[in-house]
Chain A
Amino acid sequence: MKSNLFTVIFAIVMGVVCSLVLTAVAEWITPRREANEKAERYRNVLEIFNIAVAEGAANQEIIKTFEEKVTIVGDDPANPDYYLYGRLIAIPAQGPGLWGPIEGLIGLARDGTTITAVSFYKQEETPGLGGEIAGKDFTDRFVNKKLFDTRGQPALKLVRPGRAKGDYEVDAISGATMTSDKVQALITAAAEKFKSKEAE
């Protein structure tokens, strides 16, 4: 049995060594990690604006392209109200899904209502049913639809598959009513938030 003093000293030395190692690692990694997070967010926005980014593009490249072309509107750069590229607009849309949070972006044309692109880059919906919202088949259905009606109210509706008519209706995913309802809710919420911020 070793002495109490030795035990205490050993514990202190172990603690110091471990924390030194962890501090060093954190110092080394943190800038890279933050760049990763930023680049990921920027890449999603660039894709909505249809600005080409190479598949394996480095973080700096993405951040540089983004900062050259896109303006962030809003007080908190990590959680902006919307993005501007020339007069094209991208609105962040987020909300609860069926199983987990859904995050996406809605791209609008110069008129501020015609949709150019939609993406849901984060979702955990049922694979094969609600999970299809991330697929191109679904997101393409939004293109050239209108987010707001002539009075400026959010008007886009997801309707039962095969029934979509006109500028304000999009076919929902068949067999995924619950997910479609959540998507509808988060699009309307994003549109309302955008209107209120734009008015400021």
Chain B
Amino acid sequence: MKFLLRILDKVRPAFEADGRFAFFKPLFDAFDAFCFSSDETTKCAPFARDSLDIKRYMSMVIIGLLPATLAGLYFFGWRILPVIVVSYAAGGAVEVLFGIIRKETINEGFLVTGLIFPLTLPPGIPLWIVAVGMALGVLLGKEVFGGTGHNIFNPALVGRAIIAVGYAKPMTSAWIKPGARLWGNLGGYLTSPDAVTIATPLVQAKQQVYEPIANMFWGNVSGCIGETCAAAILIGGVFLLLMRIANWRTVVGIIGSFVVLNVIMRALSPEVFAPVGFNVLAGGLLFGAFFMATDPVTSPITNPAKWAYGIFIGCVTLLIRSLTVYTEGVMFAILLGNIFGPLFDEVVFRFRFRRYRLEI
């Protein structure tokens, strides 16, 4: 590491304002900051919302995502590694491009986006779709709003929504049968995507065929890369809750409202709504609740608003999942929640400050 530090310090002048490679300064800074602690402080949000700085924050989330990533690797094989690499490459390219155009430093935020995004995709997804989705997600979900901290929507979900609608076929059929042996699919990168495909539990649930709960919990089912293993998601998610990275109000709001509404609705029409235990573990509900809805930039700031936001997402997820053509509703529910988040905050502000206004 010392050796690398010496090299970086040696070439640094070339990247300063009047150096030969001044154009690539953002790229240099990003590499520098990734390897070593930066000597600068964060200049933009979300610094005000947590006592952590953005870099520590992002590395915690990545640690929290590791169990789910490893579970995906175990069940679906080496193929998910190139998926992640392509995601980082495409997102990074857009990020660097805008860093150069805007002459701003590149933010670590995309390290999280670049890992979350592939975990929400079917394991057999063609790599070029990964690249298109990630690039459009960063461009339309983040850069058009002015970069990290200014975005309304979760960039990973924007990218996923665009490819889910745009390439509906691969996004609803590129499933891989999870490995059932001790070593899972680890040995089998070369399982070609269309070799063994299998419907996800939520697709089967539309025909009222429900996967056993144990399989759902351990993740030995078909589904998106990071969403199948509930156990791994819970480990990472509880870690984030304990580190106070993810806000427990959002998570409890989502899962709690989902369970309550599901119990009521299933009592009313059991042929449309799946059993509660199955529904909570199926699809991306847990993954979305712990890792995506809790994104500090796109979720509300005040605590009552976080509750409202969580309850909104939980209810909308269940309704989309059970009553529409879509088998999964977490993605759209969180995007809708992102839209309403500021509104919930606004209502809370109005109530809190009404007293002061009356005095004026």
Contact = CB atoms under 8 A, between A and B. Distances in A.
Whether A and B touch (Cβ < 8 Å) is answered with yes
Interface of A: 98, 126, 128-129, 174-175, 177-178
Given A126-B168, A126-B325, A177-B206, 13 more contacts: A98-B325, A128-B167, A128-B168, A128-B169, A129-B168, A129-B169, A129-B172, A174-B173, A175-B168, A175-B169, A175-B172, A175-B173, A178-B325
16 contacts: A98-B325, A126-B168, A126-B325, A128-B167, A128-B168, A128-B169, A129-B168, A129-B169, A129-B172, A174-B173, A175-B168, A175-B169, A175-B172, A175-B173, A177-B206, A178-B325
Nearest to B206: A177
Contacts of B325: 98, 126, 178
A161 B82 CA distance: 31
A128 B167 CA distance: 8
A69 B168 CA distance: 43
Interface of B: 167-169, 172-173, 206, 325
Contacts of B168: 126, 128-129, 175
Contacts of A98: 325
A192 B167 CA distance: 37
Contacts of A175: 168-169, 172-173
Nearest to A131: B168
A178 B167 CA distance: 18
Contacts of B169: 128-129, 175
Nearest to A129: B168
A154 to B, nearest CB: 23
A162 to B, nearest CB: 12
Contacts of A126: 168, 325
B205 to A, nearest CB: 12
Q: Which interface residue of B167, B172, B173, B325 has the most chain A CB atoms within 10 A?
A: B325
Contacts of A177: 206
A69 to B, nearest CB: 40
Ordered nearest first, which 5 A-B pairs have the shortest CB separation? A178-B325, A175-B172, A128-B168, A129-B168, A128-B169
Nearest to A132: B169
Nearest to A98: B325
B327 to A, nearest CB: 10
A133 to B, nearest CB: 15
Nearest to A175: B172
B34 to A, nearest CB: 39
A128 B173 CA distance: 13
Nearest to A127: B168
B5 to A, nearest CB: 51
A126 B206 CA distance: 19
Contacts of A178: 325
B38 to A, nearest CB: 45
